Structure 1
Amino acid sequence: MDECLASTLDTAVLERLEYLDRLVSKSDEPSRASLAKTEITRLADAWRALLKLHAPNEHGRCSECSGWLRPRRHPCTVWSTAYQHLIAADGSPAAGAGRHAAAAGRPAVEMLGAS
């Protein structure tokens, strides 16, 4: 992807998120309710599309995150991030969780249990 286009996309997405944050924090109750009616659906649709791209393939790998030399097991970081922000109690990432925690001698947290 062209650097200029990538920068434009990054800026546009981050500005939109900042705009939504401002609306939520500074708007009155009716405005927030109206915002929720439209934006929650849009954000849920965006998450669904992103997670569909990162769905496991027939080998249990994330096709989007895997490279030819580096296959990535499911759940990938996209699914773990979705879990942390959509399911976890406080919505924040668990401190010391994941593959880097294991390297540091801390237990890794299982995000999506085996079904």
Structure 2
Amino acid sequence: MDEVLTATLQQTVVEHLNYLDVLVADGDTPSKAALAETEVARLTAAWRRLLDQHAPDSRGRCARCSPRWRHNECTVWETAHQQLIGDDAPSGPDRAGRHRLRPVAPARQLTGG
């Protein structure tokens, strides 16, 4: 993808996430109910697709992120756990797999907004 298209896609996604944040924070009850009916299914489908794309191989490595790199830098599964379950994901050298734990900034912080 070219840089302009990539930047446009990123901006559009971040703006949509920001819009959802506003609806959740400031929306009335009917708006929140409508949001749950439409967006929750879309978000869970998106998470599942992303997790499928970053499924670890038999050695615990992300085939999508690390086929050419010496160290696996994929944090998708840990990010999913942190955001969907909580911040108590296991970390350290004794944990299975080679995904490293790093804090993840919310989308609205990525654009400075």
Identity %, equivalent residues: 50
* Residues 87/112 of structure 1: CA separation in 2 closer, same or farther (3 Å cut): farther
CA offsets per residue over residues 20-72 of structure 1, 9 Å max, x none?
A: 11111111111101110110100000000000000112443211111324252
Structure of higher RCO (CA pairs closer than 8 Å, 6+ residues apart):
2
Aligned to 1:79: 77
User: Unaligned stretches of 5+ in structure 1?
Assistant: 99-107
CA offsets per residue over residues 76-100 of structure 1, 9 Å max, x none?
A: 4000000011111xxxx46xx85xx
TM-score (normalizing by structure 1) = 0.71
Residue type of the alignment partner of 1:3:
E
TM-score (normalizing by structure 2) = 0.72
* Residues 112/51 of structure 1: CA separation in 2 closer, same or farther (3 Å cut): farther
Higher alpha-carbon Rg: 1
User: Aligned runs of 1:1-40 on 2, under 5 Å?
Assistant: 1-40=1-40
Aligned to 1:68: 68
| In structure 2, C-alpha distance between the alignment counterparts of 1:47 and 1:31, rounded to whole Å | 23
**How many pairs align?**
96
Greater displacement, 61-70 / 45-54: 61-70
Q: CA RMSD in A?
A: 2.7
